[in-house]
Structure formats: C-alpha cells, structure tokens
C-alpha cells in the first residue's frame, strides 16, 4: 500500500509540532511528508527583540529546517496555487525560479500572515518589517550603523534624526522592541559611544488604541476572553516611560518618508529608523484561494482543524481560525500555533485509522512580553506576574519551547557572554557595489530631496507627482525657482563631483525609484545596446 502523501505549506510554528507527530508513521512507511517553505530555517520570533539589540546573535534564533521538520522532505519554494480538484500544489522553486507541482492526499496550510503595511503610505518602502527575516537582519545591522553615523556628524538635527527610533504598533512585538532599544541606548552610549548623549536619543512607540498591549485586554481576534489585566498594561507603560520611551496612543501614522514620519495629529517626527510591528493580513495564497475565511480574515476551520467544506485540507497557525473551546477563535500566537499543528497531525493519523477527528480542547497557558531592563509582564493561567519574576518566567517559557537542543545551548551561551562583554555592536551587513539596488521612495509634500551643496551619488526617476528645483544663486540663503520636474524626469547630484548644484523639494506626494549613478549609467548602456539590437533585427 502506497504511503499517504501529506504536504505542509509553510515552515512556521504549526509545522514544528505537525512534523514530529508524523515521524513514527513515516518510519513505518505509512505517510510521506513534504514541507514547502521559502527558507531552509525556522525563525524563533520570541527573541527577535534581544537579537535586534545585540543581546543574542542572529544565528541563535534560527534552526535548520532539515532538523526541526523531520521526517519531512524540504522543498525551498513559494506556493502560488492550490488545485483542490486535482489535489495538486503549484510552486515556484526559490533557487532557480522554475515552476513545480506536488500531489497531496492531505494538506496542512501553515503559511502564517503578513504585515498589513499597505494601509500606511510609505511604510512598505521605508519601514523594517518584523515579520520578515531579511528585514530583521537588516535592522539588526542598521541600529549600530545609526549610532556610528550619529557619532561622526556635527549636524545636530541630523544626529537627532539618526538617534530617533520610531516603532509602529504597541502590541507585544512593538513594545518589546521599544523597551529593548531604550535599554540598548543607555548601555552603548555609556560604554561605546561616549561622544553621544542620551538626551539626543528618542524612542517613539505609536499605537492606535487607547492603551498599548491590547493582548492583555483580549487578543486581536474574538476569543470570548473576559478576563483583562489593566494592572499589567499600566506597569508596562510606567516602566517604558521610565526608560525614556515616548508613548503615543490613539495615534495613527499618516505617512512615512525616507527622513520622517507624519502622524494624524500633524506632528512630523524626523527619523532614519521606522520599525513596523502593526497588524497582520492574510497571505496572498490564503486570500486568493476559494477557501472560506472568517471575519478576521483567517481560514474558517472546524474544531478538528479541517478547513470548512474540505475533507483533506487542514490549517494551523496564524492563518487558521480554529474554534476556541470557550468560544471564538484561538489567538494567532506561537504557542497556539504549535498546539494546533500537533492537533491537526493527530487528526490526520486518526482519519487514516478510520476514526473520527477530535475537537481542539486546549484553553490556553498564558502570555508574556518583555519590556526591557530585565522586566516583563505576564499572565500564567490567569495569574498576573510582573517585573523581574515575569521576565525570568518569560525566558524559561521561550527557552523550553525552543525547537532544538543546539539552539538552546547557543542562547544560554549568549546570555552568559552578553553581561560580561557587552552588546554586539558590529554592523555585519555587506554592501556589494557590483549588485544593482533599485529602491522605491515616497515623499510627502514639501520634503527636501536634494540639498544644494551636499554630496551624493544617487539618481531618482519620478514615477508620480512633481518636484520643484531651486537654486541659491547669490548666496543670500534664499532659493530662487528654477523649474518643475514631473513624471519621467530625473532628480540627482552632479555625477562628475557628486555635489548638488540645485535643491529639490517635493511639490506634492512624490514617488520615485532611486539608484546609484554608476548603476544608472550601466543600465543606460545596457538598454541602448538592447534597443539597437531590436532595431537591427
């Protein structure tokens, strides 16, 4: 008898528990498990905050996929379609872009969610998203770079902008990052950047709700939870303010640009660092499928984990709205995802034996958030805990569930080294000037894009909007109008010496693509050859 083909989409927390549950059946030849994921590693998001501020190394929160997802065969790819009639999954291989398909008997959808940054103009172009590993790693290197650049400039306004860290979203992730940044700033300025002053550092946490940490007032989706923890929220707010974090509640982002954030109350905050910890939306695969969704835009599931209307498609993790035993949906957090992954795998094995699936019965364990300075807020089985005790509990909880033994050893090692040797402030990013890097930019009306007399090496091609070119001809500090630029025009510095001969400001909302002078010249030569080739043929 051929083994049952089980395909798992996504290497999130649900897969961490689905795969081990299927291991015995795989050894017996009863099932064949395949996992499709974009990366060959699993990210432990619980320690992202500590990684960003150099408390632990980036490697310490990553685990090789081939170790934690055994016995699954791993395919590095992006899934683009589910054919329910043919029982096929279509994908694009990550390493070479070639298409492929794989048949399934049972399918587990574990693709998680994505940050819904499209609601905030400019956030996609200029914000670091905590959901994406490449953004997290870039941010990890960007933070010490800002301290380095700030320490080497005499421009007071520029230095303050570099030392301003803006965090969008006051949930667990945003609050943890804000608290971690406050703690980092005090430590590195005292030890490594003595030429800087803490009064120049600004950490701003913005949240649209009445308070931060809405999870302690009930999760983001309906779970019929009635118990709330206002004392934990008040404690977190007090500790964050004490550490220097500015809290702006009932405030929304109006726009994000390369050099500032504009809020809905009209305040403009100059900054070079915008961190996105906002709400989430379904992945394109989920939203674009014909599978049923709940009001929370998650896959509508039976208590068994089966997607409603299906007999062979299960879901787990943030994308799955599995009913909570007390009503509503289970929360979209790591612990619930792991337990749901185990639950659906058990029900697949039960179905193979001809048994009825069992409903999801867990009611929860607790939740916790670190707020910096070795402090945390937590509730364990409904019991509120705060301060150092909560922080230790939080660490033990996350360490216990960390998916690999070698990862736990790395974490423990980092935790012992960090207090002795200080934070890791090395910028590990590698800029390869042989690679093309085209960036999308978005400016708000009146923003200075190019300043006369400044050195630069970038061209920007206008995609939409207009810009005003001006020049201080006689050196009296007053710019005289030169011309207006529009769609298709270039903004840039003089390519011979890199010094801007004119100032350029956005006249309205302006969208551009930016690239270095050498890149632009290479592209121009390439297109010139291409056009000649097409003309001759």
Residue 428 domain flag? no
DSSP characters over 431-500: --TTS---EEEEE-TT-EEE-TT-B--EEEEEEES-EEEEE-SSSSS-PEEEEEE-TT-EEE--TTT-B-
SS (H, E, C) 163-178: CEEEEECCCHHHHHHH
Cα–Cα distance measured from residue 385 to residue 383, given in angstroms and rounded to the nearest whole number: 7
Residue 455 domain flag? yes
Dump pLDDT digits (tens) for 284-333.
788 778 899 998 889 999 999 999 999 999 999 999 999 999 888 998 88
Q: Examine the pLDDT at 222 and tell me if it is beyond 70.
A: no
Q: Examine the pLDDT at 117 and tell me if it is beyond 80.
A: no
Instruction: Report whether 486 contacts 504 (CB < 8 A).
Output: no
Q: Examine the pLDDT at 162 and tell me if it is beyond 90.
A: yes
Dump pLDDT digits (tens) for 362-394.
988 889 999 999 999 999 988 999 999 999 999
Residue 165 domain flag? yes
Q: Does one domain contain both 156 and 257?
A: yes
Cα–Cα distance measured from residue 397 to residue 3, given in angstroms and rounded to the nearest whole number: 37
**Range name among 12-16, 426-430, 465-469 with the lowest pLDDT average:** 426-430
Cα–Cα distance measured from residue 123 to residue 496, given in angstroms and rounded to the nearest whole number: 33
Q: Does one domain contain both 264 and 399?
A: yes
What is the sign, positive or negative, of the torsion defined by CA atoms of 220, 224, 226, 227? negative
pLDDT at 269: 97
Comparing 163 with 282, which gets the higher pLDDT?
163
Instruction: Report whether 409 contacts 417 (CB < 8 A).
Output: no
Instruction: Give percent above pLDDT 70 in the chain.
Output: 96
Q: Does one domain contain both 201 and 264?
A: yes
Comparing 285 with 173, which gets the higher pLDDT?
173
Instruction: Report whether 322 contacts 331 (CB < 8 A).
Output: no
- If pLDDT is split at 50, 70 and 90, which confidence band does 359 have? very high
Q: Does one domain contain both 108 and 180?
A: no
Instruction: Report whether 532 contacts 485 (CB < 8 A).
Output: no
**Range name among 65-74, 229-238, 377-386, 435-444 with the lowest pLDDT average:** 435-444
What is the sign, positive or negative, of the torsion defined by CA atoms of 453, 454, 460, 466? negative
Q: Does one domain contain both 234 and 92?
A: no
Q: Does one domain contain both 394 and 444?
A: no
Residue 101 domain flag? yes
Q: Does one domain contain both 337 and 242?
A: no
Residue 144 domain flag? yes
Residue 357 domain flag? no
> % helix / strand / coil in the chain, to the nearest 5?
35, 30, 35
CA 191 remoteness from chain centre: 30
**How buried is 54 (Cβ within 10 angstroms: 0-12 exposed, 13-18 middle, 19+ buried)?**
buried
Q: Does one domain contain both 142 and 274?
A: yes
Q: Does one domain contain both 39 and 167?
A: no
CA-wise closest residue to 364 among 227, 196, 260: 227
SS3 label, residue 303: coil
Residue 430 domain flag? no
Q: Examine the pLDDT at 191 and tell me if it is beyond 80.
A: yes
Residue 426 domain flag? no
Q: Examine the pLDDT at 434 and tell me if it is beyond 60.
A: no
Expressed as residue numbers, the domain containing 294 is 4-112+283-352
Q: Does one domain contain both 339 and 467?
A: no
Domain count for the chain, please give it.
3
Contacts of 356 (CB under 8 A, 6+ apart): 350
**Range name among 114-118, 170-174, 216-220 with the lowest pLDDT average:** 216-220
Instruction: Report whether 198 contacts 187 (CB < 8 A).
Output: no
The secondary element (H helix, E strand) that includes residue 517 is helix 517-536
Q: Examine the pLDDT at 56 and tell me if it is beyond 60.
A: yes
Q: Does one domain contain both 20 and 99?
A: yes
């Amino acid at each position: 008898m051929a083994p049952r083909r089980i395909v798992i989409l996504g290497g999130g927390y649900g897969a961490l528990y689905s795969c081990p549950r299927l291991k015995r059946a795989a050894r017996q030849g009863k099932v064949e498990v395949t996992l499709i994921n974009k990366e060959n590693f699993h990210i432990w998001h619980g320690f992202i905050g500590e990684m960003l501020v150099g408390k632990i190394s980036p490697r310490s929160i990553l685990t090789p996929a081939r170790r934690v997802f055994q016995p699954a065969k791993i395919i590095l790819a992006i899934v683009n379609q589910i054919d329910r009639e043919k029982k096929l999954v279509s994908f694009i291989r990550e390493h070479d872009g070639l298409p492929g398909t794989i048949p399934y008997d049972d399918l587990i959808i574990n693709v998680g969610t994505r940050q819904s940054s499209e609601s905030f103009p400019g956030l996609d172009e200029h914000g670091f998203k905590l959901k994406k590993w490449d953004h997290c790693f870039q941010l990890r290197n960007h933070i010490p770079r800002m301290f380095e650049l700030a320490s080497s400039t005499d421009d007071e306004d520029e230095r303050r902008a570099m030392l301003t860290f803006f965090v969008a979203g006051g949930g667990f992730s945003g609050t943890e990052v804000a608290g971690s940044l406050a703690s980092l700033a005090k430590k590195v300025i005292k030890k490594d950047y003595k030429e800087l002053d803490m009064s120049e550092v600004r950490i701003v946490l913005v949240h649209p709700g009445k308070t931060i940490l809405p999870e302690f007032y009930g999760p983001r989706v309906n779970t019929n939870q009635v118990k709330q923890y206002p004392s934990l929220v008040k404690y977190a707010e007090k500790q964050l303010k004490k550490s220097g974090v500015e809290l702006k509640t009932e405030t929304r982002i109006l726009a994000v640009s390369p050099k500032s954030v504009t809020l809905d109350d009209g305040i403009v905050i100059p900054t070079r660092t915008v961190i996105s910890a906002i709400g989430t939306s379904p992945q394109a695969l989920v939203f674009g499928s014909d599978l049923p969704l709940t009001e929370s835009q998650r896959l509508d599931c039976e208590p068994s984990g089966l997607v409603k209307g299906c007999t062979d498609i299960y879901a787990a993790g943030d994308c799955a709205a599995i009913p909570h035993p007390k009503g509503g949906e289970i929360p979209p957090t790591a612990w619930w995802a792991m337990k749901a992954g185990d639950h659906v795998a058990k029900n697949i094995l039960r179905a193979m034996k001809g048994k009825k699936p069992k409903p999801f019965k867990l009611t929860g364990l607790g939740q916790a958030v670190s707020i910096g300075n070795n402090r945390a807020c937590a509730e364990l089985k409904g019991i509120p805990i705060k301060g150092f005790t909560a922080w230790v509990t939080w660490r033990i909880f996350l360490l216990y569930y960390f998916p690999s033994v070698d990862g736990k050893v790395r974490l423990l090692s980092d935790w012992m080294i960090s207090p002795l040797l200080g934070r890791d402030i090395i910028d590990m990013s590698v800029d390869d000037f042989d690679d093309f890097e085209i960036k999308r930019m978005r400016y708000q009306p009146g923003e200075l894009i190019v300043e006369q007399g400044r050195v630069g090496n970038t061209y920007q091609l206008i995609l939409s909007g207009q810009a005003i070119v001006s020049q201080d001809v006689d050196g009296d500090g007053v710019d005289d109008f030169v011309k207006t630029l529009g769609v298709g025009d270039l903004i840039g510095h003089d390519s011979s010496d890199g010094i801007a001969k004119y100032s350029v400001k956005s006249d309205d909302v302006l969208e551009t693509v930016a690239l270095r002078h050498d890149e632009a010249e290479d592209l121009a030569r390439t297109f010139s050859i291409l056009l000649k080739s097409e003309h001759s043929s």
